[in-house]
Amino acid sequence: MSDSYWTPRQPQANTRGRQLSATMDTKTIVLVTGANSGIGLASIRSFWESPKTYHILAAGRTLQKIQDAVAPIRDSPSPGHSTIDEIEIDISDDVSITNAASLIQGKFGRLDTLVNNAGGGNDTDYQNGTMSQREAWNRTMDLNVTSPQVMTTEFAPLLLKSADPRLLYITSGMSSLQEEHTRTTPGEARAPKYPAGWPKAERTAATNAYAYRVSKTALNMMFLHWVRLFEADGVKCFALSPGFLATNLAGDPELMKKAGAGDPSLGGDFIRDCVEGKRDEHAGRVIRRDGSIQDW
């Protein structure tokens, strides 16, 4: 893997001139995918602002975008004297994932936390005619299920070399089978009922998002399988449902805020809480930011 995929920096001094006191052996090495925006970027900032010491691997498809996004964070003080490297990973590309795992193996020899944050949805692409239904569903399933499955498989050996390995997935509050069955899924109360006959009128993407919802339900099943696989290895696994936050996943973040969406920083802090042990009693479950357990 060439240096064009990676921006290694020696742990000398941060931008405020303070000497880094911790060696790489004592830093918690955390990899976050989809780190150039939304909840992923918010988690990078949250780790950076923690009094604990991290070496943060901020990953995304385009190195320049990650560098641009992370630059303002690096220019601020880090109470824990954390450090950041940007790394290019396309989670839909097996070669990109394998190369990244090899690079991290060579530089650090382990990974303490993998945050499978990157994902997306293509329901609006189907609704506006830019993708067929099959294309939209296949792409959504690839991003939200297949890609984190491959990521976890490739990085599992590195996680197992950690003294405190943690594996996180970002799911959705709209993924519960029980809540769909009882019509208590968030958004269902305002969704119109369908009259008899065919075709059925499409709902708006914000309350529909069927491909996205199904993919996150599948992700939950995949997560539970990894809980079983890692049961004897001491890996703490979490599937996090961060709630309705103003990201670019479902459109314009500013419009989402006007609709009641929370700031992505809430999701970033939720991720950090799980890495720092504040939700360990709920390891192995799908958990919501408000402290509750999500029904299957």
Tokens 């950041």 -> residue: 84
Establish whether 4 is a catalytic residue.
no
Which pLDDT tens digit goes with each residue over 1-27? 445 466 544 433 343 323 333 457 889
In a domain, 296, yes or no: no
* In-domain check, residue 295: no
In 175-293, alpha helices (H): 177-181, 210-229, 253-258, 264-275
Contact 219, 239 (CB under 8 A): yes
- The answer to whether 176 and 296 are in contact (CB under 8 A) is yes
Going by C-beta distance under 8 Å and a sequence separation of 6 or more, which residues neighbour residue 5? 63, 87, 88, 99, 100, 103
Instruction: Give per-residue pLDDT as tens, 188-214.
Output: 666 667 788 887 766 554 457 889 999
Mean pLDDT check: name the lowest of 11-20, 146-155, 158-167, 267-276. 11-20
**293: in domain:** no
pLDDT of residue 227: 98
Rounded CA-CA distance 264/266 in Å is 5
Q: What is the pLDDT of residue 192?
A: 67
User: Residue 273: which CATH number?
Assistant: 3.40.50.720
For residues 123 and 208, the answer to whether their CB atoms sit within 8 Å is yes
pTM of the model: 0.89
Residue 15 belongs to some domain of the structure? no
212 is catalytic: yes
Catalytic site residue from 172, 175, 176, 241: 172
pLDDT number for residue 174? 86
Which pLDDT value is given to residue 22?
41
**Length in residues, the chain:** 296
Residue of 126, 169, 216, 241 marked active site? 216
3-state secondary structure of 80: coil
Instruction: State the residue range of the domain holding 179.
Output: 3-10+20-288
Among 43, 212, 215, 236, which one carries the catalytic annotation? 212
Residue 254 lies in a domain: yes
The answer to whether residue 193 is catalytic is no
Q: How many domains does the chain have?
A: 1
